Amino acid sequence: MSSYIYPQKIIKKMESKDLTKVSPRSPREIMGGYAILARAIDKCRASIAFTSGDYHFNCPVDRMFFDFKGIDAEAFKQKAIDGATDADLLAFVNENGTPKNVEEIKAWSESVIKSDYHNDPEKKEWFDGECARLGLDPEKNYLFDYLDADDIQSYN
C-alpha cells in the first residue's frame, strides 16, 4: 500500500480521484440526501493527495454545504486524512454539526440544485460571463448546470 506524507503525518493511500485528469462528481449527485457532498469529498481527497489541479476544497460551493450542516471543513478533512470512506464521511456529517431532518435536507438540496446566480445581483456578472464562455444561456441555467458544463469542457 502506498502512503502520502501530509502535515508531518503519513496517511494511507485513499481512493482519490486525480482531478488533474478527471472531474469530481457532479454537485447534483445526492449522497445521504445531500447535494454537493460527493463533490466535496472528491475535492477533499484530491487536495490531500496533491492532485486537485484547478479544483479547490472548501470553495464557496463546498461552503454552501458545510454552512448548511454547520460542519468545520478542516474537521471533515481530518476524517478523510484518517482514511474515512464515503460512508464514514456521510456518517460524520450526520453525527456532527447542526442536526437536520430528512425534510430539511431534501428541501435544502432541491433549493441549492436550483441556485440561480443570474438573478443574484452580487453574482450575476461573473455567472453570465462564465455561461457565455461555455455557450450557456444564463437565463436558462443554474449554477450546477454551469459547473457540470465546465467539468465537461475541462476534460474533453
pLDDT of residue 63: 98
Please give the distance of CA 71 from its chain centroid, rounded to a whole number: 14
13, pLDDT greater than 90:
no
Q: How far apart are the first and last CA of the chain?
A: 32
Helix (H) or strand (E) holding 121: none
pTM: 0.89
Please give the distance of CA 94 from its chain centroid, rounded to a whole number: 17
Per residue in 50-78, pLDDT tens? 999 999 999 999 999 999 999 999 999 99
Calculate mean pLDDT across residues 122-136.
Answer: 97
Q: ∠ at Cα 19 (16, 147), nearest 5°?
A: 120
Outline where the chain has alpha helix (H): 37-48, 60-69, 73-81, 86-95, 102-113, 124-134, 143-154
